[in-house]
Amino acid sequence: MSERNCVVAVDVGNSAVKLCVRRGEEKKVGDALGDKSVAAELAQLSVPICENAWHLRATRWVRDQVRCEHSHWLIASVHQPAAQTLQHAIDAMSVDSDMQMTVASVSRRDVPMNVRVDQPDRLGVDRLLSAYGARNQFGSPVTVVDAGSAVTIDWVNDEGDFCGGAILPGLRMQANALAYGTDALPEIDWKVGGSQSENPATVAGTNTVDAIRLGLITAVTAAIDRLSVAYANSGAGSKAQSKLVLTGGDAATISPFVQQPHEVVPNLVCRGLLDLPRS
């Protein structure tokens, strides 16, 4: 595969579209644990779906910034209207330019991972791909946390099987619920640090904004700490030590307040896509 040939992994979420592009020779993202050169090979972009013409920004980035002449797009989506919008933009660009583009929609059935849940067909492909990517990079057992619009805390057992997990509202969803469900509580801007934002897990908030931040971050991180320990204890007979991996748009925000040892890996869904076997 030449440097102008690319595989474009796309994670279409509820609030943003994330892209990772692997250029040149094929190499599984999970092949080299801790190999920072692997991450360096990936061009990465996140585009909010609320942004005007986000689909054009995504496709033009692949064409103009990454400079792929021949690209194969792997799209995993939990937001079908957005995925269709992106598909139309890819089709239009392939017609209007000299780029050669192929597109494949990835479903749960494309992920080579055993699933132990009650209704496998209802499992979100994003959760499965995150688990698959984490297992490939860190081995199993592993707890995988995706902190985005919702927070998922999933378990991969020592046999490498996806065993389900927990789902709770993300930071912004919880904050919006407080703001819209009450008369006096304000909306929270997570981009602006409050006086307690450096250590909200141990110091009581002395104003409304800091108190809300403290409550929300503690709720999410306490769930992560508790469940990761419970999952690990459920596999007490395992010879391997359980790992904890965080990903998602809010991973960097919550990481300082998670007490259990963990790794932060951006764009884990995309990395799982890039690890899929090529047919």
* First-to-last C-alpha distance (Å) of the chain: 15
Q: Is 234 annotated as a binding residue?
A: no
Domain 110-170+212-273 CATH (choose: 3.30.420.40, 3.20.20.70, 2.102.10.10, 3.50.50.60) = 3.30.420.40
Q: Is 35 annotated as a binding residue?
A: no
- pLDDT of 41 reads 61
Burial class (CB in 10 A: 0-12, 13-18, 19+), 251: buried
Q: Is 142 annotated as a binding residue?
A: no
- pLDDT of 30 reads 52
pLDDT tens figures, 187-208: 777 654 444 445 554 578 788 8
User: Which residue is catalytic, options 35, 91, 126, 154?
Assistant: 126
With a cut of 50, which residues of the chain have pLDDT below it? 1-2, 31-40, 192-197, 201
Catalytic, 91? Answer no
Does the fold of domain 110-170+212-273 match that of domain 5-105?
A: yes
Could you give the CA distance from residue 188 to residue 95 in angstroms, rounded to a whole number?
44
- pLDDT of 151 reads 97
Q: Where are the domains of the chain?
A: 5-105, 110-170+212-273
**CATH class for the domain made up of 5-105:** alpha beta
Q: Is 242 annotated as a binding residue?
A: no
